[in-house]
Amino acid sequence: MLEDTRVLTGPRKRDPAVEVRRILVHSTGNAKGQQRVREKRLAKACEDLDKLQRGAGGRKRVAALVTVSCLALLVFCLIERQVRRALGGDQKMQGLYPGNQRVRPTGRMILYHLSGLRLRAGHTTDPPTIVISRGVQLHLLDLLGLEPTHPRWPET
């Protein structure tokens, strides 16, 4: 059992300070009950993790999925960073949102606009071409330093 005093103040400055006495009692019964609850929660969490690992194909597969997710997030961030660097200054551009307001491009918005790009397959004499349907797509490709009119021809 512990005992001490503490001064409590009211919410307003004019409220008087009140000194209160605290008595803290430690109950071994309560502590044991709380420990059992923690152990049950930990056992349930371990069971859920085991189910996840079995469903995903084991620890190696879970690690591989996490690695792929991290790499995708890295590419996402690098695309956003490259576009913002190429914009310079206030790092804002028009055309990403309706109304043509100037905003900082996000990775999500950049990939949303680039997802509309289509590749027209080439023939033996014609190289493939990228079909650009909106001006913002051309602007984003330019900011990323990509040449949209001459995609790479696969080596044969």
CB atoms within 10 A of CB 105: 21
* Crossing angle (nearest 10°) for helices 135-143 and 107-114: 120
The reported pLDDT for the residue numbered 150 is 58
Q: What is the pLDDT of residues 59-109, one digit of tens each?
A: 777 788 889 999 999 999 999 999 999 998 888 998 888 888 889 999 999
| pLDDT above 70: percentage of residues in the chain | 94
Strand-strand pairing, 18-24 and 2-8: antiparallel
- Name which of 131, 132, 139, 146 is nearest 94 in CA terms: 139
The reported pLDDT for the residue numbered 28 is 77
Residue range 40-58: average pLDDT?
82
